[in-house]
Amino acid sequence: MGLGLFGSSSGSRNIAMDLGTANTLVYVPGEGIVVDEPSVVAIETADGVRRVKAVGSEAKMLIGKTPDNIQTYRPLTDGVIGDLEIAEEMIKHFIHKAGGGSHSMLSRGPEIVICVPSGATSVERRAIRAAALNAGGREVWLVEEPMAAAIGAGLPVKEPVGSMVVDIGGGTTEIGIISLGGLNFSTSARVGGNKMDEAIAGYIRRQHNVVIGDATAERIKKEFGSAMVTDESLHIVGYASGQDITKGGPCELTLSQADIVEALREPLAQIVEAVCASLEQVQPEIAADMIDRGITLTGGGALLRNIDSVLADETGLPVEVADAPLHCVAIGAGRTLEDPEYRETLCPS
Residue 2 pLDDT: 34
DSSP 3-state assignment of 9?
coil
Q: Angle at Cα 188 formed by Cα 183 and Cα 190, nearest 5°?
A: 170
Looking at the predicted structure, is the pLDDT value of residue 102 above 70? no
Amino acid 251 reads: C
Between residues 179 and 109, which one has the greater pLDDT? 179
φ and ψ of 101, to 5 deg: 80, 15
Lowest mean pLDDT among 28-32, 101-105, 162-166: 101-105
* Domain range list for the chain: 3-37+78-147+329-345, 40-73, 163-191+266-325, 193-265
Return the CATH class of domain 193-265. Answer: alpha beta
Q: How far apart are CA 275 and CA 129, in angstroms?
A: 29
Between residues 283 and 16, which one has the greater pLDDT? 16
Residue 105 pLDDT: 43
- pTM higher than 0.85, yes or no? yes
**Domain at 163-191+266-325, CATH homologous superfamily:** ATPase, nucleotide binding domain (3.30.420.40)
Q: How far apart are CA 124 and CA 82, in angstroms?
A: 9
Q: Mind listing the pLDDT tens digit for each residue in 249-270?
A: 999 999 999 999 999 999 999 9
Q: How far apart are CA 274 and CA 215, in angstroms?
A: 27
Q: Which of 154, 113, 189 is nearest to 345 (CA)?
A: 113
The strand order across the sheet containing 319-321 reads 182-189, 173-179, 163-168, 295-298, 319-321
CB 23 within 8 A of CB 300: yes
Q: Mind listing the pLDDT tens digit for each residue in 81-100?
A: 888 889 999 999 998 888 74
CATH 3.40.50.2000 fits 3-37+78-147+329-345, yes or no: no
CB burial class (10 A; 0-12, 13-18, 19+) of residue 252?
exposed
- DSSP type of residue 226: B
For the chain, the average pLDDT equals 89
Residue 349 pLDDT: 52
Residue 10 pLDDT: 43
φ and ψ of 53, to 5 deg: -90, -45
pLDDT level of residue 183 (50, 70, 90 thresholds): confident
In sequence order, the 6+-apart residues with CB closer than 8 A to the CB of 170 are 20, 21, 22, 23, 39, 192, 193, 194, 300
Q: Do domains 163-191+266-325 and 193-265 have the same CATH topology?
A: no
Q: Mind listing the pLDDT tens digit for each residue in 203-214?
A: 999 999 999 998
Q: What is the DSSP string of 96-133?
A: HHHTTT-HHHHHH--EEEEEE-TT--HHHHHHHHHHHH
Residue 273 pLDDT: 97
